Structure 1
Amino acid sequence: MFVARRIDRVSSVAGRRRALRTLAALAGVVIPLTTSKTALSLTSESRSPSVRGRRMTELIGSNGWAGAASDVQMWRAMGISWGRGSVGPGQPDGPQDVIRIDKTSSAFDSELPPALIANDRNGIGSLLQLGYTPAWNASVSGDPNSAPVDVEVWERYVDAVVRTYSAPPYNLRYFQIWNEAAGRLSGGLAQATFWHGPDADGNEKSSKPYERAMQDYVERIHIPAARIIRRYHAYIVYGGWPDQGGLDNFRRWLEYRSPVLKERMLDWVDYIDTHYLPVADLDSLYQQYVRNGPARGIWQTEIGDGYMKDPHYLPRYFFDFAVWALERNWDDPNKYLSMVYHWDGYEPFRLTHRGPPTRTYNVSGRSLVVLNRTANGSLASFSKPLQFEPGASGTALLSGRDVVMQVSADPGWKSVTVGGLKPPSSSNALVEFIDALNGTASARDDVALAWNDQSLKIRFKVPDRVNGADNKPPKHLAYVVVRGVA
């Protein structure tokens, strides 16, 4: 079960992780919201399986739940189609407690059932995270992030959650086991933040290694919970491998065969799940575990956080994720998913600022609105070669009948040549150069296209005042959209 606590973590790899704050209590909290005067128009996307082709929104989720109706509108505008949250509190005070699974948030002070029903009504998927150990049943005295002494207590909690929420009116099919369980991390820590053994001393840097970390997790947490989830015909989402853990170490855990249970953990995982990795790092996991099975897909149930201080991070991540997924048999709407940590807060890099007086978009939130509005059609791979002149780079996909290129460039006039693309027969194509952070289209004279045999050359003027962070040097992120040529 979950125990109220701060979710703080310290990175030993420069630039890889930021300190995480407490998961906000969102479900059931009604906050009067309005969008700011500069907020972009709302775009609602269908989650119906009858929709032809994949959609950008199918890739985008968030930690927490949407609360008020205006929260839901903002989620739709940003393309957020999944939420993730806790379920409990279980039996916090002792084995005599009735098992409580009707609360959510880090402090279990928000009602879970109405949040799940509202999600379903609004076309938002719900992922419930199962954890942790009640202090009275912890193998490390009083530590909720350690293995249970009595595994049956853990099993009763898991069974109560899955039995209840896989049935009507909730009908959930996705359950996540624990969070970031690992042993010695490749980043240097001897024990993971959320999985402690007997030599944990309360200090991540001075704790001794947890020698049985993998065996205890597989035998006392993962496989017992996974068996229950499968019994109710639901799907198992791995507990989010931390980016500091290292992928080679992750493979060891996935392929570990318990000498007691005589089974591999991998055979009890439906969705491989990692945290805070770049898109390129997912490919080895896809090739090894998803392309030919046994896993059904790859999720990242936490991305973003301090990385969103770079305003280009989220739009680049999700555009790259879409291009990557389209080239890797994206044959199911739930096969690939990444969830932002966190959509709501007071820090300027969160998706929204909760107010007062009213909730407004931050830069990262507006960038998702722009992405969702710009690439809001049925998606497909774009196979034609792109040749950028020096000082510019980018990738492309098809959205409906439009070619959408995401471009990172230095200030000044730049160009891209698209090979093998024939001009439309009925009318001249239209081209737009759109700021990826605020959605503003450039003046018509600042972008032009010209056809030459079977290639297209596009010239565009990048503004002197670029929208990137203070990198060396900063770049401008934009979309070059050629309408109606696909």
Structure 2
Amino acid sequence: MVLGRQMHRVENGAGRRRALRILAALAGATIPLVRTRGALAAVSDARKHRATARRMTDLIGSNGWPGSASDIQMWHAMGISWGRDSVGPGQQYGPGDAMRIDKTGPTFNSDLPSVLIRNDRNGIGSLLLLAYTPKWNASVPGDSKSAPVDEKAWTRYVDAVVRKYSTPPFNLRYFQIWNEAAGKLSGGSPQASFWHGPDFSPDRKRAKPYERAMQDYVERIHIPAARIIRGYDAYVVYGGWPDQGGLSNFKRWLEYRSPVLDERMLDWVDYLDTHYLPVADLDPLYEQYVKNGPARGIWQTEIGDAYMKDPHYLPRYFFDFAVWALDRNWNDQDKYLSMIYHWDGYEPFRLTHRGPPERTYNVSGQSLVVLHRTVDGPLASLSKPLQFSPGAAGTGLFSGRDIVMQVRADPGWQTVGLPGLGPTSSSRVTRVEFIDALTGEAGARDDVALTWDDQRLKVRFKVPDRVNGAGNNPPKHLAYVVLRRAT
């Protein structure tokens, strides 16, 4: 729902989605975007093979771009390593216009080349969204979310963007085609928000289904653009399947074979992309399309938004995402990625409040700072599942030498057991910490203790009576139990 929808939200004030300011050290956590084609691509691929360690920051992106040095500092502190935004405006008023692809932002009011170079210098990857149709070329009169009348105008725009930005000094390798293109949605809408055809109406009761939605998108938008992207040795990111579209419907679109082109859209997708799904819902896509191909990975280019009203949402999502990815052949640092909508704004649930007088973290942004600071090392899976007392639940992983468990628990004393870690292994634990997942405050030393029996290490920890998820049903406390281990 971003970009095009970002414009919609800015214009209409609609949306689904002062705190501790910690500037966490990078500690090698952000990795520059992999670049270009030919010899440069070979160098990039060699770098990726060397960079075998996976980090939490590899998974975290945001919609929009950092706009200043202080913004970049805050992105680094939150562990955000990717951005996503528009490119245009293309041939805005007619086919005789010069091709303009040097602007970005909700109203194309920012200089794109300087943004991309600044991102690259600061280890931030850039995903460009290729969209939409200029109104003069729209098949639904005046509707930029409809198919082009002249398909060559669309491919000229795509070719101009990919030709320019896949080569030095930009060297981008990832391009996204459209945004949330779909037909009738499983949620009940007869037409998707960003793909309109005949009989479209903003009033759902008056709109009728776009019967050729799939065929028109595959034949006139996706495959023509994907051919160009791959022609420049770059990767195709699907345009973000809307959460209300339904996964079965998404699979139908992916596997649709055009009777005109005799090709499936799936064969022209490198990275599947969905919006606003929980981590568990990614499993069917992984099993069917990524585990053994043909897709290279799974991205979500929009998560968060109003879900971030729950202060636990982001830290839980990304911790779960990391645990999930570690168990699903995370053999490429760009294989899995989720991008927050939106890092900047005035709503209290966004990552930051833009000011005035100065930008500050909201609770959601602060929770990412805590996550980045707590889970800052190379990641690895725990060999056995954790064992919690009835009032607690959670997951864990290795971050460097440390064991980090994210726990969600009731007030009072709780326990978590780690099978396979007996007295010998436990002797390497130098410190145990109980850290509030939203504020980063550490609990009192007397509120966390270690014991073990046979081959199981047990941590006993006290959850405060005033939990940090008071608005949840039931109220819970989100924290990290961290075992600091000697090398």
**TM-score bin, normalised by smaller chain:** over 0.9
Cross-structure match for 2:41: none
Cross-structure match for 1:417: 417
Mapped contact 2:196–2:210 kept (Cα < 8 A): yes
How far does the alpha carbon of each residue in 1:265-309 deviate from its partner, in whole angstroms, 9 at most, with x for none? 000000000000000000000000000000000000000000000
How far does the alpha carbon of each residue in 1:89-119 deviate from its partner, in whole angstroms, 9 at most, with x for none? 0111111100100000111111101000000
Cross-structure match for 1:292: 292
Cross-structure match for 1:447: 448
Partner SS, residue 244 of structure 2: helix
Cross-structure match for 2:43: none
Partner SS, residue 70 of structure 1: helix
Cross-structure match for 2:31: 47
Cross-structure match for 2:15: 19
Letter in 1 for 2:220: R
Number of residue equivalences: 463
Mapped contact 1:384–1:421 kept (Cα < 8 A): no
Please list, as runs of the form range in 1=range in 2, the aligned pairs for 1:262-411 lying within 5 A after superposition.
262-411=262-411
Moved more, 284-293 or 195-204: 195-204
Moved more, 175-184 or 461-470: 461-470
Report deviation, 1:430: 1.6
Q: Which runs of 4+ in 1 moved over 4 A?
A: 2-5, 425-428
Percent identity, aligned pairs only? Answer: 73
Please list, as runs of the form range in 1=range in 2, the aligned pairs for 1:34-433 lying within 5 A after superposition.
38-44=20-26, 45-47=29-31, 49=48, 50-422=50-422, 423-424=424-425, 427-433=428-434
Q: Cα–Cα, structure 1 residues 117 and 296, in superposed 2: closer, same or farther, change >3 Å?
A: same
- Once residues 186 and 356 of structure 1 are traced to their aligned partners in structure 2, the CA distance between those partners, rounded to angstroms, is 42
Partner SS, residue 65 of structure 1: coil
Q: Cα–Cα, structure 1 residues 278 and 4, in superposed 2: closer, same or farther, change >3 Å?
A: closer
- Once residues 230 and 339 of structure 1 are traced to their aligned partners in structure 2, the CA distance between those partners, rounded to angstroms, is 23
How far does the alpha carbon of each residue in 1:326-360 deviate from its partner, in whole angstroms, 9 at most, with x for none? 00000000000000000001110000001000111
Q: Cα–Cα, structure 1 residues 201 and 41, in superposed 2: closer, same or farther, change >3 Å?
A: closer
Report deviation, 1:52: 4.1
Mapped contact 1:3–1:134 kept (Cα < 8 A): no
- Once residues 366 and 486 of structure 2 are traced to their aligned partners in structure 1, the CA distance between those partners, rounded to angstroms, is 27
- Once residues 477 and 366 of structure 1 are traced to their aligned partners in structure 2, the CA distance between those partners, rounded to angstroms, is 14
Report deviation, 1:205: 4.1
Letter in 1 for 2:443: S
How far does the alpha carbon of each residue in 1:93-146 deviate from its partner, in whole angstroms, 9 at most, with x for none? 111100100000111111101000000000100000000001111000000000
Cross-structure match for 1:466: 467
Report deviation, 1:404: 0.6
- Once residues 359 and 30 of structure 2 are traced to their aligned partners in structure 1, the CA distance between those partners, rounded to angstroms, is 25
Report deviation, 1:390: 1.0
Mapped contact 2:59–2:338 kept (Cα < 8 A): yes
Cross-structure match for 2:35: none
- Once residues 160 and 434 of structure 1 are traced to their aligned partners in structure 2, the CA distance between those partners, rounded to angstroms, is 49
User: TM-score, length-normalised on structure 1?
Assistant: 0.92
- Once residues 206 and 352 of structure 2 are traced to their aligned partners in structure 1, the CA distance between those partners, rounded to angstroms, is 37
Cross-structure match for 1:14: none
Letter in 2 for 1:171: N
Mapped contact 2:24–2:76 kept (Cα < 8 A): yes
Letter in 1 for 2:459: I
Report deviation, 1:427: 4.6
Mapped contact 2:195–2:213 kept (Cα < 8 A): yes
User: TM-score, length-normalised on structure 2?
Assistant: 0.92
Structure 1, gaps ≥5 residues long? 10-17, 22-35
Cross-structure match for 2:36: none
What's the Cα RMSD here?
1.7
- Once residues 4 and 40 of structure 1 are traced to their aligned partners in structure 2, the CA distance between those partners, rounded to angstroms, is 31
Q: Cα–Cα, structure 1 residues 135 and 449, in superposed 2: closer, same or farther, change >3 Å?
A: same
